[in-house]
Structures are given as C-alpha cells and as structure tokens.
Homo-oligomer: A and B are copies of this chain.
Amino acid sequence: MATDYETLIKPVKSKRTFEEVSEKLKELIFSGTLVPGQRLPSEVALAQLFHVGRQSVREALRVLELSGFITVKSGVKGGAVIEGTILTKLAGLFLDTFKLNRMSLQDCIEARKAIEVLVLDFVFKNAAKEDVEALRNNVVEARRMLQSNRSAFQEHVDFHRLLARASKNYTLTVVVEIILAVFSDFSSGYRPLALKESRQMADFHEAIVEALAAKKKAAAVEVLRKDLALAEKRLRARARLTDKTRRPRTKA
C-alpha cells in the first residue's frame, strides 16, 4: 500500500498489437462512433485498416467478444456486431469470482437479503407507474404459468430484476443482477421449483406489488423478507446436497 508507482509511471514499452486494436475499438464504442447493431468490417479489412496481421485482429476481437462488446457470427453477412450491454458478461465474471474463491453461498444469501431490502427503499422513493405496472404484469404472467401447472421459476427471478429496475438506480440494478446470476446458476439443473413453493412466491410478489401501490413500505419489507427466506430455504436444501463451496474466504 505504499506509493502507487503503477499509476504514476506508465510503461514506456508499447503495448501488444492486439491490445492497441481492442482498445481503439473500445474507445470508438464508448464514444458512440460505433453504435449497437452496427457491423464491423471483416477481419481482413480490419487488419488492413490497422496495418496489422489477422492474428492480432482475431485476438482483439476475442477480447471484445469476451467482454461482451461484440458478438461474432460466421458466414456471409456474419462478422462482428456491436452489442448494447455487457451486463451478462459482468454477471458471468462475478459467478467466476464466486467459484474461484469458493465464496460461501451463505455470504451471498445474506448480502442479497440486505441489498434487496435496500433496493425496496429506493423503489418506494423512485418507482414510476410503469414500474409498478411491469411488476404487476410479471405476477400475472407467473399466475398464468402456474395455472397450466408449470412452475414460474424464470418469472420469479425476473420479478426481482424488475424490482431492482424500479429503484431507478442503475448501479443497484447491476449489483442485483450479478447476485441473481449466482442464484440462477445454483438453481439451474436442479429439480424444478415445486408448484407449492412457486405459488407461495407468486403470492408474496403480489403482496409486494400491492403494498407498493398502497405505499405501505413496512408491509412490503416484511413480505420481501419472507419471500427471500423461502428462496433461501430452497437453496439451502440444494446446497446441502451438492455443496462444494463451503469454506468462507475473507482474503483478497
């Protein structure tokens, strides 16, 4: 933690070619010169434009692809296309952090509980009518699934996504999104959510929406806690079975 030479002194030696290429392209994306949906020139064309070899272009594209800035398709009319968001990749990397550091699921559950209650606070302050409507529609959709005896797992997760969005705070939205990614991954491949549990969740979600519409915060918080407790219970049951991520880690 001494003097931070790393930021004071920049390397004299030039970066690797593919890094220069990928960073240049990133700049163009950040600046809005390259907009989502736009198609980049082909690899050979890019190589000629940058005066570099195809290998360097390829590696640069790999970097951008992994970060989520572009997607690449084969064939004519294929190529690299600019993406509008990299949230999925961010969530994926958080999941990797989780796995790599063998983070305890318990930590994640507790953080989620605390943060979502926080989010609800923002929601009560900032949510617009459309947000309440979106949440209500989500519940309707979940009910529809349940009526045909299918559990509404995806809808339940989406509810919490929508709730985060209703906070009108994008930072919080992102944070919730990456935490949900861990929960989704942990639940995937598991036995489908029992209909009974799914119905209860739909009830909880509906109660939250109505409390929100009626501006009863305390009630909403209470139901949200119950909802999260139910999700936690289910996850714990699974964790006991397949747990490979027990050991807590405080170290960086």
Contacts and interface: CB of A to CB of B under 8 A. Distances in A.
B100 A86 contact: yes
Contacts of A1: 138, 141, 154-155, 158
Interface string A52-92: 00010011001100111100000000000000011101100
A90 B94 contact: yes
Interface string A19-63: 000000010011000000000000000000000000100110011
B87 A30 contact: no
Contacts of A252: 85, 87, 165
A89 to B, nearest CB: 7
Contacts of A112: 171
A175 B111 contact: yes
Main secondary structure of the interface of A (DSSP, over half): helix
A168 B86 CA distance: 29
Copies of the protein in its oligomer: 2
A108 interface: yes
Contacts of A29: 100
A93 B174 CA distance: 12
Contact of A63 (B18, B66, B86, B115): B66
Interface string A112-146: 10110010011000000000000000100100000
Interface of A: 1, 4, 7, 18, 26, 29-30, 55, 58-59, 62-63, 66-69, 85-87, 89-90, 93-94, 96-97, 99-101, 103-104, 107-108, 110-112, 114-115, 118, 121-122, 138, 141, 154-155, 158, 165, 168-175, 179, 188, 248-250, 252
* The 8 residue pairs across chains A and B that have the minimum distance between CB atoms: A111-B171, A108-B171, A107-B171, A62-B62, A107-B169, A90-B93, A103-B170, A59-B62
Given A86-B97, A97-B174, A107-B171, 15 more contacts: A1-B141, A4-B154, A26-B96, A85-B101, A86-B100, A90-B93, A111-B169, A111-B171, A114-B122, A118-B118, A165-B250, A168-B248, A168-B250, A170-B249, A170-B250
